[in-house]
Amino acid sequence: MTILVTGGCGYIGSHMTWTLKDQGRDVVVFDNLSTGFTNQIPADVPLIVGDIDDQALVAKVIDDHNVEAIIHFAGSIVVPESITDPLGYYLNNTVKSRSLIENAVKAKLKAFIFSSTAAVYGNPQDTSRPLIEDLALDPISPYGSSKLMTEIMLRDASRAYGLRYAALRYFNVAGADPKGRTGQSTPEATHLIKVANQVALGQRERLAVFGTDYPTPDGTCIRDYIHVSDLAAAHALALQVLLDGQDSFVANAGYGQGYSVLEVVKAVREQVNGAFDVEMTDRRPGDPAQLVADSSRLRSLTGWQPEHNDLDQIVRDALNWERHLIEQSVSG
C-alpha cells in the first residue's frame, strides 16, 4: 500500500513523510510548494507538484502509485491572516479539501487522516480543565471555521459513502525532528517557539507578546505544545487503526499540559543562556486565553504514548533546527 501525504513538503507533512518511511511504508508526496521545501523529504520519495483541487491529477497519482490512504496536511494555518483573508482560507482549507475528499471517495480509499485544529473550539467558557472533543464547537476565526467545515464534510462523506477517516485536532505543534532531518523552515512563520528561537539567534529583532491581560496566572496566553514528532506518530497510529477496522473518529492531539507565552520565553532563554528583546503588545484578534487538550480518546483508540513530552526538549530540538538553517544559508 502507498500513503499519499498532501502538503508533505511542509512542516508537519515532512515529519509525517519521514515517520512513514522509518516504518517501511511506501509514500508519495503531493505539494504545491507554496510553503513547502523539497529538501525536507527523503530523496527517494516521489514528489508530485500540484494543487489538491486538480482532481484529474490527484486521481492519476492515486492510480499510478496504488494509493490506498491519504494523510491531508495541505492548507493555510495563520489565524490572524485568516481574519484579513477569510475567502482565501475557505478556498484553501475547505473548497480544496472537498475536492480531495471526492477523489478519496471515488477511489474507495481505505483511510483518510485530516489535519484539524483546536481552533474549532473557539474561546471555551470553561478553561479550568482540558478540552474534550464533545464540547460545543464555536470557532472565532475563519481558520477554525474552515477546518470545522472540512470535519463536517468528512463526517457526512463517511455516513454517505463509507469513507473511514480520522480528524486530529492539533493544539500547538512545535519542535523539530530530533535526528535533524526536517523542521519548521518558513522564514516568516508565526509559531511562538520558532520566533523566540530566531530572536535568540539574531534572526529577528524582537519577539512580540500579544496580550498580557488574559485571565491566566501571568496574563499571557496558555497553550498545549506538542512535539511534532509525537504528532506524526499519532497520525501513523490513527492510520493503522483505521486500516485495522476502527470506525471513523475525531480526537484531540496534545499533552494535557499548558505553558504560558512567558514560560516559553523563559525556556528559550535558558537554552541560549541569555536574554533577548520581548515586546509586550496588544492582544491579537482570534486568540483564546487558554487551550489545553484532553487526549484520552486518542490514547485509548490508538495506544498513542508520547515520547517527547518535555518543553525543554521541544525548544532544544527547534533551536537545533534553527542553527541548522543558519549553517545551511551560510554554506550556500
- Parallel, antiparallel, or unpaired: how do β-strands 172-174 and 207-210 relate? unpaired
- Is 265 in contact with 210 (CB distance < 8 Å)? no
Task: Read off the amino acid at residue 318.
Answer: A
Q: In the sheet that 259-260 helps form, which strands lie side by side, from edge to edge?
A: 259-260, 222-223, 290-291
Distance between CA atoms of residues 188 and 210, nearest Å: 17
Distance between CA atoms of residues 316 and 320, nearest Å: 6
Query: Residues with catalytic annotation?
Result: 143
190: cell is: 508565526
- Is 31 in contact with 74 (CB distance < 8 Å)? yes
- Nearest of 79, 77, 62 to residue 28 by alpha carbon: 62
Q: At residue 141, what are phi and psi to the nearest 5 degrees?
A: -140, 150
Distance between CA atoms of residues 82 and 63, nearest Å: 34
245: cell is: 477496522
